[in-house]
Amino acid sequence: MTTNPLVKLHALGQSIWLDFIRRGMLDSGELQRLIEEDHLRGVTSNPAIFEKAIGETHDYDEAIRRLACQGKNANEIYEQLTVEDVQRTADLFRPIYDWEAGRDGFVSLEVSPHLAHDTEGTLAEARRLWAEVDRPNIFIKVPATLAGLPAVRRLIGEGINVNVTLLFGLPRYRQVADAYIGGLEDRLAQGRPIDRIASVASFFLSRIDVLIDPMLEKLIREGGPQALFAEHLHGQVAIACAKIAYEMHRHIFGRERFSHLADRGARDQRLLWASTGTKNPAYSDVKYIEPLIGPGTVNTVPLETLNAYRQHGNPEVRLEQGIEDARKVVEDLLKVGIDIDLITQQLEDEGVEKFVKPFDHLMQTLEKERLGCLGNPA
């Protein structure tokens, strides 16, 4: 019998999470099956995922009617639906969380994307959601914006698990890791325990190539001295950045500053590969899994990518391979006139907007359904 490649990934030290959540998967037992058969170890969600789940299915119709009749507004309905889903999902993963002593088995819930540039607003909503969900194996997702960084540090200091999301750039990754370590230091200084606090840094991948590849293709078409560099770089930038981030992680969490915390039970902030669905049909549908298999990391994948890897994945530890080539990719970008730091800042800004739009659209959908349930169609 052929071993499931997803199970092999777990044996190699990488956790596979599902970047999707939908009530129908909970009701049908599908998510439980993925846990049992594929060794799924967690779930991530975001406003775009909930917009698809709530707005494009009938899974939530009855609950929306019930909540509307209770007099709740669209925002209150959204929050109750998402909190209920996260609670149920966290309960499914709780045995894994307990078995692995809090290392895995997490479910993520994101603060409103409208708070991406509001530190105090992020803190208030994160604390409220943490208390409302009331499960130890959840992450509150906070964007890696400049306003998000101090929120991450303070939340970690308060003992709230954080998934730092919308992370694209290497300099920003260093700031994210620093915010996590700083939060642990703050908590330890207060004499509070740090051994059960968890965090992941969600490094987004495919969007990097989606933005840079057309620039490189233009250079290739134009020919000239930069064309050869561009050909070499095409489709390689996201993976290169991820490999460099992993090297940075090993350095940051191997230094004395963190070892002092590790001696008191602190866990490292794991790197999580996000945006791992292949958007370019010319690329492999497991492009953002195969080269990034490494111990202590997480890869959160869409359902389609999970199914693809189960069918034809080839598990092997590769994350530490080709680090010199990865550095050269980043260096060569400058030779063709592409500033990766400007690119990743653009991606961060666009990433926030890509969550704001579906969130707002879902609020409009919920308001329309709410009014319809009350007999007052919009």
**333 within some domain:** no
pTM for this model (two decimals): 0.95
User: For the chain, how big is the Rg over CA atoms in Å?
Assistant: 21
**74 within some domain:** yes
**108 within some domain:** yes
Total Cβ atoms within 10 A of residue 57: 12
For residue 166, give the CATH number of its domain. 3.20.20.70
362 Cβ neighbours under 8 A, 6+ residues apart = 47, 50, 51, 54, 55, 78
Work out the pLDDT band at 56, boundaries 50, 70, 90. Answer: confident
**336 within some domain:** no
* Helix, strand, coil percent values for the chain (each to nearest 5): 60, 10, 30
Mean pLDDT of 32-57: 94
The string of pLDDT tens digits covering residues 176-200 is 999 999 999 999 999 999 999 999 9
Work out the pLDDT band at 158, boundaries 50, 70, 90. Answer: very high
Output the pLDDT for position 224: 82
Does residue 222 contact residue 291 with C-beta atoms inside 8 Å?
Answer: no
335 is catalytic: no
Indicate the Cα dihedral angle 358, 359, 360, 364, nearest 10°. 90
Q: Is 159 left (phi over 0), alpha (psi -120 to 50) or beta?
A: left
Closest CA to 246 of 349, 141, 152, 317: 317
**129 within some domain:** yes
Average pLDDT taken over every residue of the chain: 94
SS3 string of 82-118?
Answer: HHHHHHHHHHHHHHHHHHCCCCCCEEEEECCHHHCCC
User: Which strand (E) or helix (H) includes residue 202?
Assistant: strand 199-204
Rounded-to-integer distance, Cα 234 and Cα 290, Å? 17
Q: How many domains is the chain partitioned into structurally?
A: 1
- Tell me the residue type at 137: N
**224 within some domain:** no
| Residue in 141, 218, 287, 335 annotated catalytic | 141
Output the pLDDT for position 2: 61
Rounded-to-integer distance, Cα 206 and Cα 46, Å? 17
Q: Is 3 exposed, middle or buried (0-12, 13-18, 19+ CB in 10 A)?
A: exposed
**109 within some domain:** yes
Q: Which domain holds residue 277?
A: 5-206+249-315+347-373
Give the chain's end-to-end CA distance (angstroms, integer). Answer: 57
**75 within some domain:** yes
- In angstroms, the Cα distances linking 169 to 19, 28, 208 are 21, 39, 10
